[in-house]
Amino acid sequence: MAFSLLTNLSAQVCEYEEYNKFVGIAHENYNNKKYKEVAKTLKRAFSKTNFPLGKDLHLAMKTAKITKDSEWAEKVAIQIAKGGVPLQYFTRYRDFKWYENFKTDFKVYATYYDENFNAELQKKLINLIKQDKDFNKKYHQWRTREIEMTLEELIEGASSVLKNFKALTDEYGIPSEQKMGYNYNRAKNIVEYYTLDVLFIHSYQMGELVFKEDLQQIACRGILHQNYVEILKNSTGFGDSTGVEQEMKARYKEFRGKN
């Protein structure tokens, strides 16, 4: 099952390299309650790209509230709103003086999202991530003998996830926040990363080394964090990484002692 990269990525420029470095420092400072340093470092990170990532903008909003930086909070809020996050997310910031004007202008930001991002791709990716999560749960239940599955069912389940992943990338290219907008978790009322990294890891563990030659370039576009490039280099299953069928036969032999 061959996966091909549909966009031309430059190997010369790594846009998110410095960005990730500063963001990592900012998260560490936040954990240590050094909020002024968080703000300073995030602003440096955001200056390195035209498209800061959603989880980092969420951290910026929390930090701006703590440090009472109204001007920065407004700027970040507009960025998040243009990325498709609903007004519900921003009600916690209604004490800022700009909130009422922001609320009035929100339809403008929502329109910007509709005109510049692909909501259909976002929906398909979220459904694919759920499909992968559900199959992975069933697989582990089978591995621990909570349920039984035939070898054919294991192959079909894993193949279906990978087939849909390939169809998605064939149609849209590799999904990214730059294409879909930000990932708003309504239940937690937060903005977070899409778990595309988990989908990649599971694909590698299931015998398909998707976009293996393009991982570094994908990281440079902010689609995967650099840390996951290193993780994926060492991610394998029980087989020889030649495909789902070979991998599942190896796992069936490992956990059931027969072909």
Report the DSSP beta bridge partners of residue 203. none
Mark which of 77, 92, 115 sits at the end of a domain: 115
Segments forming the whole domain that contains residue 28: 16-115
Write down the pLDDT at residue 13: 80
Mark which of 98, 115, 132 sits at the end of a domain: 115
Least confident window among 35-39, 120-124, 236-240? 236-240
Are residues 99 and 122 both part of a single domain?
no
**What are 77-100's pLDDT values in tens digits?**
999 999 999 999 999 999 999 999
Are residues 125 and 104 both part of a single domain?
no
pLDDT beyond 80 at 259? no
CA distance 249 to 259: 6
% the chain with pLDDT above 70: 95
Give the count of alpha carbons within 13 A of 242, CB side only.
5
| 3-state secondary structure at position 192 | strand
Mark which of 92, 115, 138 sits at the end of a domain: 115
**What are 204-253's pLDDT values in tens digits?**
999 999 999 999 999 999 999 989 998 998 888 999 999 999 999 999 99
CA distance 217 to 93: 37
Number of domains observed in the structure of the chain? 2
**What are 168-208's pLDDT values in tens digits?**
999 999 999 999 999 999 999 999 999 999 999 999 999 99
